[in-house]
Amino acid sequence: MRNSEFSSIRAYLGKTQKELAQLLGTSLKAIQSFEQGWRRIPVHVERQTLFLLAHHLPVSGKSRQSCWTAKSCPKETREQCPAWEYRLGHLCWFINGTICHGKIQGSWQKKIMLCRKCEFFQSLMPGV
């Protein structure tokens, strides 16, 4: 996540740097450092920030649809996927180990790069 994106999300959420620090369980100095680009945004902070954003965005018909429906996943694939198991098709991007493009997605960094290119993710998180 780029520092400008992080800063924009904080503004969209209507939080001060201090309030976001409290929400994310980090320090005010860390938030300032992320926004200035002095420090790289850690994986856990990126995930939590996107999670908060996802729950702050207006709900649309597409956001109620599951990823396996939108992507027409075969039954045998979706039944092996954690998003299906936990019925979290709208949060597939948040869950590690999901099956996307026929492969299990492991690390957050690789997974979120793939998700950002996915039309389903883009429909849930416009502009991200």
pLDDT tens for each residue of 42-87:
999 999 999 999 888 876 555 568 899 999 999 999 899 999 999 9
Identity of residue 49: T
pTM: 0.85
- Describe the chain by its helix, strand, coil percentages, rounded to 5: 60, 5, 35
Domains of the chain: 3-54 (1.10.260.40), 61-124 (no CATH)
The pLDDT of residue 109 is 87
